[in-house]
Chains A and B, each alone.
Chain A
Amino acid sequence: MSPTAEMASTTVTWASLQPALPEIYLTAAICVLLLADVFFGEKRRGLAPTLTLLILVGGALVTAELGNVSDRVLLFGDSYVADPLGQLLKLFGFATIALALLYSREYLERRGMMRGEYYVLALTSLLGIFVLVSANSLLTVYLGVELMSLSLYAMVAFDRDNGTAAESAMKYFVLGAIASGMLLYGMSLIYGLNGTLNLEKLAANPPGEPTLGMILGLVFVVVAIAFKFGAVPFHMWVPDVYTGAPTGVTLYLSTVPKIASFAFAYRLLAHGLGGTVDTWQHMVAPLAVLSMVLGNVVAIAQTSLKRMLAYSAVGNVGFILLGFAAGTPQGYQAALYYTIAYVIMTLGSFGVLTLASRKGFEAEDLDQFKGLYKRDPWLALVMMCLMFSTAGIPPFIGFWAKFNIFQALWATGHYWLILVGAAASVVGVFYYLRVVKLMYFDAPGDLPTGNPNGLAVRLVLVLNGAAVLALGLVPNALIQLCARVIG
């Protein structure tokens, strides 16, 4: 880099910071929330959730209006990048977390978890995700991953008197720390061999056969990504943490971090280490296949709906990784689309779980959903749409997600991956249909009827279900948006 360019990139003016406004705004807002809660939180119990929602709405507006960038803009010594992909993921992050917190509000309140700190942790994890989404250097990647993960560990353990939650937080923390160690080690190898932390410069390396050291570095990085995604064989924490955490937290855990995992894989593998795609493709493909097969097969044997959805998450991660295994922009687009579709669907399905719970009744086991159509018709209808969608059946969005992946894989000639993917989705249909069967074909028994939640929340959930249908009927806009931001 020439001296003048270096000067230009180190001179910071207010105007030049504009692309980083979402992060700056969020940091300031976290401070405001923290202070407001300290001073007024005891007296006004609803303050934290309401203020958080306002912050998220404001953040979305700021990002949409002022975070506009038409091209890649580098900041902070080239360690930060603002681009259309980042903007899309940040906007989507705001929306996802807002819905997740909205659905879980009453759940948290009933369990005494609706405290200012919980919402602060949620926002800091979002900040971590934003940093990761905009990372352009190995260090920024690491910073984002850690900020997000540490907040999530604390959120899982937030219900302090809950033994299982504490246990799963511990499990999550230990395994997450190992993954971070792996990541750091892999990064150190890559840095040592290339002499730069900057992803842009790494990407500029001429493609070719990587050295043994580089391959070793790649292995560690891929393992870390697989850990965060929860891909087989690094998925051990997923079912335990999903089941152990309070449902409201699982709702958060199963959706928001998936955006981060996509960004993690995209920025690091597809962009920074894109020159070695021929090498890491062969690492990602087996992870994808194992995840799809194991996730979908083991999900059949579950009796707990939470655990079943955890294995379903593993299976779906396999599909996202398939997009990366294609190793082409088309594949990354498909992975992005799949991630967005999956997050929308999972928000809904865990939202149903959260709303179906009530005081002294955790809706966790499959049997607790028997005859839901009679007890709460709208909840059952939304859940049915979501289950068919996740199974990949038109006219819902989940079909296009799988379709996109298959199309990308055909274009690169990965026939076997398509066959395994097709077989895995047929297996998957069985357990999604079983949920529909329980809700619609079985008698309700003496399970509680009605729904204690407010009308507004339930309306939002119905809209979530409607979005899954609407995006399935008219999928073009979102598909083209994904295509545009990946470029």
Chain B
Amino acid sequence: MQGFGLLSLLTWLPIAGGLVVLLLGDRFLRGARWVALATSLAAFGASIPLYTGFNGGTADFQFVEHFTWIPAFHATYYLGVDGISMPLILLTTFITVPVIVAAWTVIEQRPAQYFAAFLIMEGLMIGVFSAMDSLLFYFFWEAMLIPMFLIIGVWGGPRRVYATLKFFLYTFLGSVFMLVALIYMNLKSPDFSIASFQNLPLTMHEQYWIFIAFLLAFAVKVPMVPVHTWLPDAHVEAPTGGSVVLAAIMLKMGGYGFLRFSLPITPDASRTLDWLIIGLSLIAVVYIGFVALVQTDMKKLIAYSSIAHMGFVTLGSFLVYDIFAAHQSVQGAGMGITGAMVQMISHGLISGALFLCVGVMYDRVHSREISAYGGVVNTMPKFAAFMVLFALANSGLPGTSGFVGEFLVIIAAFKANFWYAFLASMTLILGAAYTLWLVKRVIFGEVANHHVAELEDLNYREFIILGALAIAVIVVGLWPAPLTDAMEATVQHLVQQISLSKLSP
């Protein structure tokens, strides 16, 4: 019962702050803004004890809170974190602050509601990562769609209605089947807690169906090929903050779902169907990499790059069985999962930063087309430095966070199968190609037009948020040990768990 109430505080504080901002409204905009910033900072501050008080030596859930919620369904209000969810919660609280700051004066239409939507969503997302009861998890998972639907729909671009409906329907379709699977498992287990589902014996037949139901929900969220098509639309139409949260956090929920649900609950189905996930992941890495190369819209390019990078997450998560098969031991099998986790955190930081960079340019020129820019470095040298740093991180430069995750996954892929590693390594070429070509066309060269010539460099607000993200990217890149140490025990436990068959011998 250590740290009692901290997770509840993290979940409900932003929601309460969001409601206050909503009530203050645009009439008291100054107040609403400062309340929004104070809430997001308070949430970030409150999440730091989650790291400092975290015991990395155990795979047990920590900061546990357990109350009755719906005795009629045996569902409980059960929160807790382990090495997988703790970093993701920190990422969530960290990313929300720049999102609020970036929107400070930029949003002209209904700004108070904009801040409120992001704060409420922050609370719901933390709820998703800390829920240890699957019904509570589903509750937050679905509720989160509502603020995102409104964010894209109200503050989005010209095709926002199409994009937001597509986003909502895709995700909802996927998750309904997860709900059906959860209800099924609850019939056989005493309650809805994730732990009791993980211990539930299931036949192969059952595992197949449950695995597919989970796959539908999580694959849409990640998103994996071929259900990724909502993402480019949603990213392009969403306002800057919406893109940042979508890329940095919401996509991670799919990866988190695979690690928390699919692998431990259906280990045998995961073993027999891992070729499917690995295949789709490699397609994402290679094919989507090529697709990203030909984009003319900056946001779309980063969106496709996100799909490719998330391919590494799913690849790393499901390599574990091939490593077992190749080495007949669980030693080192966790490397893929550790890589996937680091990749999630790193991609959260980098993609968030890149979308903020696009936002900075969009606020000035009101175009996302690559062809509308050129030679930005001449007028915005500070901005160019940041943009180049994040671009290099996105292509996996050693010393940045982007390198660590990709490197671990590629090493794990080598342990499993040479050809997996070969295809995965294509990202080193493709990722560098599409990102650096983007930078070359936008940042360098002659000043392309009078819009670019009139650009003003970063103001102090933008400088602070991009600076904070840059520091995070470099720190995780140079010294990932605190992150990997915190998740080490959990990953080992997870590997143990999924190496045991649930089928009776």
Contacts and interface: CB of A to CB of B under 8 A. Distances in A.
B16 to A, nearest CB: 13
B72 A483 contact: yes
Contact of A430 (B138, B142, B165): B165
A440 B150 contact: yes
Contacts of A395: 139, 143
Given A440-B153, A441-B154, A407 B73 contact: yes
Interface of B: 68-73, 138-140, 142-143, 145-146, 149-150, 153-154, 160-161, 164-165, 168-169, 172-173, 176-177, 179-180, 183-184, 186-187
Given A419-B180, A426-B169, 19 more contacts: A393-B142, A394-B143, A395-B139, A399-B142, A410-B180, A411-B187, A422-B176, A422-B179, A426-B173, A430-B165, A437-B161, A440-B153, A441-B154, A441-B161, A476-B68, A476-B70, A476-B72, A479-B73, A480-B72
A418 interface: yes
List the 10 closest A-B pairs by CB distance, nearest first.
Answer: A479-B72, A394-B139, A476-B70, A441-B153, A422-B176, A394-B142, A394-B143, A395-B143, A426-B173, A410-B183
A388 interface: yes
- Classify the interface of chain A: helix, strand, loop or mixed: helix
Q: Chain B contact residues: over half helix, strand or loop, or mixed?
A: helix
B165 A403 contact: no
Interface in A466-487: 474-476, 479-480, 483
A479 B75 CA distance: 13
Nearest to A442: B161
A480 B149 CA distance: 33
A418 to B, nearest CB: 6
Interface of A: 388, 393-395, 399, 403, 406-407, 410-411, 418-419, 422, 425-426, 429-430, 433, 436-437, 440-441, 474-476, 479-480, 483
Nearest to B174: A426
B169 A403 contact: no
Contacts of A483: 72
B168 A429 contact: yes
A394 B140 CA distance: 8
Contacts of A441: 153-154, 160-161
Nearest to B138: A394
B449 to A, nearest CB: 32
B264 to A, nearest CB: 22
B140 to A, nearest CB: 8
Contacts of A419: 180
Contacts of A410: 180, 183-184, 187
A441 B154 CA distance: 5
A433 B149 contact: yes
A474 B67 CA distance: 12
A399 B176 CA distance: 11
Contacts of B143: 393-395
A411 B184 CA distance: 8
Nearest to B142: A394
A142 to B, nearest CB: 35
A114 to B, nearest CB: 35
Contacts of B146: 388, 393
B125 to A, nearest CB: 14
